[in-house]
Amino acid sequence: MVEEQQHPQARKDRNIVNTLLVEDPTNHNLAELARLRIRYRGFPGARDIQADLDKVLQNWQFTEDILFEKTRQLHRTGSVYSQVRSNKRDEEDWS
């Protein structure tokens, strides 16, 4: 049996997930959801976050394939994070 692990970004990510659970699918929120889906894919722990990410997809009536297609289109047209960068670091956190 694999031991459940705590992701080092779990506390910060929990705040983002809580926001996604109550907000609409804006471009920024779509990118955040896709980023977190990738981060937690196959991660042996953070089951609560993974379940809530599934719930966000369901609430927005998206499949993961549709989510990733939409975010690929967004990234092709420019940085989805450009609006938020003026107030934050000039980098995306994919770790």
**What is the rounded distance in angstroms from the CA atom of residue 91 to the CA atom of residue 84?**
10
Neighbours of 49 (CB within 10 A): 21
Mean pLDDT of 48-57: 98
Report residue 65's pLDDT band, with 50, 70 and 90 as the boundaries: very high
**Residue 13 · residue 21 · CB < 8 Å:** no
Judge whether residue 73 has pLDDT over 50: yes
Q: How is the chain split into domains, by residue range?
A: 10-80
Output the pTM of the full model: 0.82
Neighbours of 42 (CB within 10 A): 6
